[in-house]
Amino acid sequence: MTPASAVSTAVTFVWLGMVLAISFMETPLKFRAPDVTLRIGLGIGRLVFRALNIAEAILAAVLVIAIIVGSPRTGAIIAGCVAIVMLAVQIAVVRPRLSRRSDRILAGGDAPRSRTHYVYVGLETVKVIALIMTGSLLLAS
């Protein structure tokens, strides 16, 4: 395994671990904790997901550089690109919509239930699958 391949593999699995731990573990559990109101949960979630998305963007940039330097198999490149596109859509399209809704709630207003969360979860699921595929294909090369 070349150094670039090792870096791309490590970055992929670190990214995967972060998404699984935060999106599929911390987030749903947060709202089950005693005395966590919707407003508190949204406030925490905004901070956590802003930090997660920044970390993901950094990991995606490192992955791109490592892929360029290491030139892995086409399948790994495609799977990695799918993960990066999912992240870009989440940051550029979905999170702003979620933020507008949470802004209203955090300001003390009311907002109707949103299906946008389901879109975010769907993109997260595709991203997780893409990261698993990327890491597996990188390990196999």
Instruction: Tell me the backbone φ, ψ of residue 128, rounded to 5 degrees.
Output: -60, -45
Other residues' Cβ atoms within 10 Å of the Cβ of residue 91:
16
Read off the pLDDT of residues 15-62 as tens digits, 9 standing for 90 and up: 999 999 999 999 888 888 898 888 888 889 999 999 999 999 999 999
Domain region containing 83: 3-140
Q: Output the pTM of the full model.
A: 0.92
What is the predicted pLDDT for the residue at 85?
Answer: 98
Domain count of the fold of the chain = 1
DSSP letters for 6-17: HHHHHHHHHHHH
Question: The dihedral of CA 123, 124, 130, 134: what is its sign?
Answer: positive
Integer Cα distance of 119 and 67 in angstroms:
28
Which residue is associated with the tokens 């989440």? 90
